[in-house]
Structure formats: structure tokens, C-alpha cells
Structure 1
Amino acid sequence: MKEGLFFRFKNGDEKAFKFYFDKYHAKIIGFCVQFLHDEDKAKSIAQEAYIKLWLNREKVIREKGIPAFLYTSAKSECLNLIRHHKVISRYKGVKLQEYEDQLNQQVLEALQFDSMNFIELELMIEKAISELPERCKLVFIKRRKENKKIIDIAKELGISSKAVEANITRATKELRLKLANHIPLILLVFHQTTKNLF
């Protein structure tokens, strides 16, 4: 029955969509409220997550990809709000990476993955990153881990912004291939590459 519901959802059945909306909507809002402390913003983010889910439903390859997509989308938007200082007063003096780590762990807990799974996943990701070509790896780390802007990376390495973007694209593609068997869990870490991974 569940498989039939999932395929109906993928085929655009609004009743099937409503089933998943009712199942996860309150949880997504609660997840966002924990970090934004603003219910209105949390509701807006949850709504946006469902719109994205509907528009990208054909890309979701299994039923458990639905909550992964929703939580990942919500996490990205929460981080975007923090980055753009819309809720900065609550995060003054605290590194963004610390909150991103908390968000990652909260998503994993919401999807019922234990800490060992998370540790194993992190090791798997680190290994995949270490196997990237040297320039790709360097650019990827500066962008993804150090949260540096593309233009700043370009200046630091003495290359063009397009070259930085090309290296990020190449690194992301290689990581997708190496970690393909672990999608959608892998999305929880690479939140900014959600659109093309499902």
C-alpha cells in the first residue's frame, strides 16, 4: 500500500501529497522553530520545503527520500536566514559551523539515524573528499568547510571565479558518483547541492 501511495505521489496525486504533508508538516515546523525561535518564519520555511518537494517529486527515488528532502530543504533555509543576519541577534558570537553541525545532528535524529551512522557517514565523506584531485579538493574544502565566498577563494588561489566554480562542480559530481549508494542520507551533509541529487 505504501509503495502505491509513493508512486501516486510521484505521479502528481494530490491526495498522496496531502498524506505526506500531514505526516511531516508539524515536524518540519518544530524542527525550524528550534533554531529560529520564530514560528512564522518556521511555517514559511516548511511551506517552501513542500513546494520544492512537489516540484521535484519525480527526482525522489524512494519514500524515505521525502522526509530527507524536507528536512534538508528546511535546514538550508534556516542556515540562509542565519547567514543573512535576519536572526543574527540570537547567534551573536557563535560560529555558524556550530549551528550547522547541530542542524545536521537534528536532521539525523529526526530521521532516526544514530550517532554511529553519522560518524561512519562523516568518515565516508572525508575519504571521498581526500580522493579528489588536489585542486578540486582544495577549492571544495575552502568553499564547503570554511564557508568562503567564490570570489575570495579565487583571489586566494590566484585563479578566476569561473575556475573556482568549475572545480566545485567537478568535485560535487565526483562525490555524487562515489557516494551514490548513500543518497539521500548524504544530502544531510551536502545541503547546498540538494537540487540535483535526488
Structure 2
Amino acid sequence: MPLRYNLSRQLERFRNGDQDAFRFFVDHYRLRIFYFLLQKVCIRQLAQDLMERTFLLLFANRSSIPTVKHLRGFLYYTASECGDLHLMGRSCIEEGNFEMPDSRELLAVLDEFDVILNEADVEFYKYVEKLSPEPKIVVEMRFFIYMDISTITAERGIDHKTVEKYISKAHRWRRNHPGGGWSYLISG
């Protein structure tokens, strides 16, 4: 089944309030939104908190999202607004023009965020954190910001073969440490 069809089907279920479909979109987009916010606010815990708020706002506004493309746009726009408002000392939930769900619905969604990053995510973060500065930046650019190798090479001024070596090493590490569904990084 093509990924695009699966995403559209999941979106329909999500708009109807299906918690499993919500989990699907959290799993599919969480690392992308987390690293997008981390670039903006530069503090991991703050990026995590703003990511959670972004997904809460997505859940609250699920019925107004017609396509997967709109869902992606909503996530990045909302994450950007949350980051900008935080940097200005305000809250995205208080300031945004978003509907918030009733308290029972909100509690159900908050349960999803008790452990937002699965074990494999955490292990990969630990691996990346232990890398020396140059490989760490290359791996983050490739795996979390989704830059292609030629862009990384141009931006960092590093030899193409060296960039490929760093990325291959990270791929090898992931293959040797299975679990946690890294397939969505490749498919998406």
C-alpha cells in the first residue's frame, strides 16, 4: 500500500477522533517537528515542550485539516508560531487562534505525551550526542533536518566522501540497534 494512500486514510480516521491515527501522525512527524523547533529555540527540553503543544493544537484542530499536505503545513506553521511566541515571552496556546478541546479530550491526548520519544529514538540521540562535532552536525543535518548530501557538503565545506562516511556510519549504527520504527524517517 503506497504511503500517500495510507497517510490519507489515517487523516480521515484522525479527523474523526481516532486515537490510533493521532499516534500514527505523532510518530510520523515528531522528530521532524522536534528538530525544526530545536533549530529555533536551541534548548532540547523547550523544543520538546513546544512540540507537545504543537501536537495538542493539531489534535484540537483536526476537523479543519482537509489533506495531508495541509496537516504538514499546519504542523510547521504552528511549531514556528509556538517557537516565535515563546521567544517573545508568550504562550502559543493562549495567543493562538486555535480551538482547544474539552478537558476530557485534552486529558486523553496528554496521555499520549507521557513518553513521546520511544526507546530507539532516545538511543539514537545518545549515539549522535557522543559523536565529535563535525560528524554530529552532518548526522543531524541528514537524519533530522533531511538535507541531501550535496547540500550538507556545500554548507559545511566538507568533502563529499567524508559526509558519506559519517552518514554510512550512522546507518550502520541504526541497523545494528533495531527497534523503534525508524522506517518512517526513510518513507517520509
Common topology (TM > 0.5)? no
When normalised by structure 1's length, the TM-score is: 0.41
When normalised by structure 2's length, the TM-score is: 0.43
